[in-house]
Chain A
């Protein structure tokens, strides 16, 4: 029997969390757990505005205090990968009947949440994108799908995954349930490892240079190398990819160029870099690097990207110290 989904709690109201919470508020009771009390207060007072692809104000319930949350049926963890452990701690003991869904980039989010409770877990990858304009306003940019699947070993039944996908679809976001998410998750992992790494290091948004292989020193070769190494790791791990990450790169660049001539997507890791925040590199290129080492697959360019981005993060810490 699928769990009934009457009340949802979205943890984290960044771009992705905000889009989910606002849309879901139209089809069920939607709560948002924030980090800052003022943020929750403002959401309770003003609601959560969506602009761009959709235009409406979602009426959400918000709190920064987990003990104020009523029992909920579905938790969607939409914080940055680096904050997962902290969120797990805050959720410990709450909503024992709930299903929890992770939606982070890269690998390893489910395992972090699983350390903090026995909830059945749904893993997901999302291709939708948005920009957080303020605490109470998020712009909906790319209306591409979110894919969901049961996380093995946590007793999630497929009917619940189907029900969650149906609920998200009903809220007018695109969602698709799968029986095995791993192929899609790895496709996106490899795509992100290549695109986010190159973007973080060159500070370029996802522009046509990412598919340019015309000259020996063209940037597309680095993207190609990163994709190639990621595919070798997937092959060694016995994972058949859902989509070819290089094709995803081509498609995303072309979509950026044709559908939105003034719009080149700023990968989230570049946003972190520009704001001098810690990036998710350990969950993306770093995750592939670790898997590669475990499986004995050489990934020199992925390792270099991982190390350079860690170095770049270290340069901001040096600034703070100085």
Chain B
């Protein structure tokens, strides 16, 4: 067991692929007690029976107490919300009682999740994470990629910097590198702009990330979407961590064959996270008076594609 948790209780809200990565790693820290709240009963049962197992880029099993009944959650020092963004509201409404004296972080995709969490919780942490995984069977998650996580106080209803640092240290001690920042917006918007410029285009064209970047036509569209996102970020006074356009070209080399998760969602007739990605850029743009016509059009086309998935 690693150390560094100082007797902390953490609840993962939404223990799917990404939530499971956090839960299993945190459970490696000897004085951290990890709970998981998830609505998928077979996954919950498997975790309670045999622990939460990670394979792939990690090979660990964590002792996690899982439940599908939010009222069973004890008071927690921290929450980490890892649901898909369209389920944030339902998840935090159900579980907020556990965080009456705690702080809650979002490690979800897109923007707007912290705002929803802050409607129900007093101390909120803005977060962005890059590790990825997928559920292989109940209780088992394949970790596809390692990567950093950034946490910072959510400005309108902030957790203290001490609390942010404490959570970051615990996650890092568990084996997932996490940085505490006074302003985590740069990291979040860098990932947001990257995802919003690439994921929906992959879904609309069915091209892998590498091929999307090879075609001058589609590469140009990526840059147009990035430019709108950067303009909105700039109007919010956010300094990006890195240039999303450069991340796009880097990913074209290292993730050439990657297929957009949004395309997988559409093909599986699941709702996409478009509202938190391009929809988020559009909403913040509208508030700031920054036009985002390309992001609007792409968001509407993805909405149409979602309807097509639901076509009988």
Contacts and interface: CB of A to CB of B under 8 A. Distances in A.
Interface of A: 198, 201-204, 209, 216-219, 221-222, 225, 300-301, 304, 306-308, 310-312, 314-315, 318
Contacts of A314: 205, 207, 211, 215
A225 to B, nearest CB: 6
Contacts of A222: 297, 300-301, 304
A158 B128 CA distance: 68
| Nearest 5 CB-CB pairings of A with B | A202-B304, A311-B205, A307-B217, A315-B206, A311-B218
B296 A216 contact: yes
A310 B301 contact: no
A209 to B, nearest CB: 6
Given A204-B311, A312-B205, A314-B205, A307 B304 contact: no
A217 B279 contact: yes
B7 interface: no
A315 B217 contact: no
B207 A301 contact: no
Given A300-B294, A311-B217, 5 more contacts: A209-B307, A304-B294, A306-B217, A308-B201, A308-B218
Contact of A300 (B211, B212, B224): B224
B211 A315 contact: yes
Contacts of B221: 304, 307-308
Interface of A is mostly: helix
Nearest to A204: B308
Given A221-B300, A222-B300, A301-B293, A311 B224 contact: no
A202 B200 CA distance: 12
Contacts of B218: 307-308, 310-311
A250 B259 CA distance: 36
Contact of B297 (A203, A301, A318): A301
A219 B303 contact: yes
B215 A310 contact: yes
Given A225-B297, A310-B215, A218 B303 contact: yes
A311 B308 contact: no
B275 interface: yes
B253 interface: no
24 contacts: A201-B305, A202-B305, A204-B304, A217-B275, A217-B279, A217-B282, A218-B303, A219-B304, A300-B294, A301-B293, A301-B294, A301-B297, A304-B298, A307-B220, A308-B201, A308-B205, A308-B218, A311-B215, A311-B217, A311-B218, A314-B215, A315-B205, A318-B208, A318-B211
Contacts of B275: 217
A222 B305 CA distance: 13
Interface in B179-232: 201, 204-208, 211-212, 215, 217-218, 220-221, 224
Contacts of A318: 207-208, 211
Contact of B299 (A217, A304, A307, A311): A217
B304 A198 contact: yes
